[in-house]
Structure formats: C-alpha cells, structure tokens
Amino acid sequence: MADAEALTPRVFIARHGETEWAKNGRHTGKTDIELTPYGIKQVHTSAKELVGAKKLLDPARLAHVFVSPRIRAQQTFHLLFEGANSVPDESVTVTEDIAEWDYGDYEGLKTAEIHALRKSRGLDAERPWSIWKDGSEGGESPEQIAERLDRLIAQIRDIQRPAMKGEKAADVVVVAHGHILRVFAKRWLNCPVDLPVDMVLPPGGIGILSYKNNNVNEPAIQIGIALPVTD
C-alpha cells in the first residue's frame, strides 16, 4: 500500500508569503501587493526544505502549475521554482480561477471593520457575517467562488486521471491565497463552501491534496506527510 500511495498524483497548495496587508489583517483580494522581506524568507525556507530533486515536491514529478495572477502569488511561484527547480513555461498556467476572493466593498478592511460596515447597513441582525456563507458586497458570492474553483479542479482531474498509479508524472502545484485555497480544499472534497471546519495555511505554507486507493473519484486530504526515502 505504501508504494501505491507514493505513486498517487498529488496537488500541492502553496500560499504566498507575508504581505503588509496580510500581516495587518486586511482583506486583500484584487489589490496587488508585493511580499515583505520576511514573506520572501518564508517562501525561500519552504523551497529550500521541500522543493527539489528527491524532496517532497520534486519538479521531475510535476505535470502542471496553476498560479494566481496577483503579484504576491507570482513572486511566490518564482521563489519556489527558481534555478535548478525551474519548470517549463508550457507547464505553467496563470489563471483568475485561483485568484483570491474578490472582496468588493470589503477590500482593505479588517474583519471588525467589515462587521461594523455591515451593521451600519442594517445587515446581520440574526447572525454574524461569514465570508463562507455571505460572500462580499460588491464582490464575489460563495456560489461564484465554487463555480470557478470547480472548473479548475476539473482541469486538474483531467491531468491526473490517466496517471493514478504512477504511469507518468502527474503532480500539480497551485500557488494562490489564504481564503481561496481553503475553499479549494473544501471543493476538492466535494464539500460546500460554508462547511463548518476551520483550516489554517500559514503564509509561505504548503499543503497536500491527493486521492484514496489510487482512485480519481476518491479525493482526499493528506493530513500528514511521508518524506521520500533516499539512499
């Protein structure tokens, strides 16, 4: 079983490193903000420890990389895959399907400020606001988020379906943002956007999704990692 699991295609979800707005708790959707120097170090550390030949994320096993068009995600992608770990241009797709949630009227606001704004508009009399249930005024709804993520997941499944037992390199990397990657994980499991489960993916962090039983119809989350065995 261990050998079969090692051959099952994986999806690595990589969150961009720290930005000033993220550090301050401000909702950052379409605003283009670069990584802080510390954010660059976060990604460098992840790349050094996890990316490379015979490491957890081996570029030789990659079939494709999907990247958000926002500059913070672009920087993160290039930091992860620079030098000997670079990937061919034809294996990289920059797509709005994995861009961060469009926060609309809430762009740049902290959570407490969003609650105050909504209260001033007569909203949330029965329960507190939840991005997962209510979305953003002037921005995207949970249904819109699910639609674009489901479209991306379908592309990934098409890439990985012919290689469920290691027939060819089929790992995929998705480089994006905190909120959208948490929804991506829920939709990967065919769960609703408002599934009441807390997920944490720190800036510069990398998570892993895969499948049970080498079956494309049994998507799963890897809750632990086994590092590659080297001689």
Mean pLDDT, residues 18-28 = 95
What per-residue confidence (pLDDT) applies to 4? 53
3-class DSSP assignment, residue 56: coil
103 is in an annotated binding site: yes
| Mean pLDDT of the residues in the chain | 95
In this predicted structure, the answer to whether residue 188 has a pLDDT above a threshold of 60 is: yes
Domains in the chain, ordered, with CATH? Answer: 2-221 (3.40.50.1240)
Q: Which helix (H) or strand (E) holds 175?
A: strand 171-176
Are the CB atoms for 194 and 130 separated by under 8 Å? Answer: yes
What per-residue confidence (pLDDT) applies to 168? 93
What per-residue confidence (pLDDT) applies to 230? 72
pLDDT tens digit string along 131-154? 999 999 999 999 999 999 999 999
Cα dihedral 209, 172, 148, 69 sign: positive
What per-residue confidence (pLDDT) applies to 57? 96
Q: Which of 220, 198, 205, 158 is nearest to 8 (CA)?
A: 220
What per-residue confidence (pLDDT) applies to 2? 45
pLDDT over 90, % of the chain: 93
10 is in an annotated binding site: no
182 is in an annotated binding site: no
pTM above 0.85, yes or no: yes
What per-residue confidence (pLDDT) applies to 208? 97
In this predicted structure, the answer to whether residue 231 has a pLDDT above a threshold of 70 is: no
Is 100 a known active-site residue?
yes
> Which of these is catalytic: 18, 64, 100, 179?
100
pLDDT tens digit string along 33-90? 999 999 999 999 999 999 999 999 999 999 999 999 999 999 999 999 999 999 999 9
Is 177 a known active-site residue?
no
User: Running DSSP on this structure, what letter comes out for residue 51?
Assistant: B
Tokens representing 22? 């993220």
pLDDT over 70, % of the chain: 97
Using only C-alpha atoms, the chain has a radius of gyration, in whole angstroms, of: 18
Length of the chain: 231
106 is in an annotated binding site: no
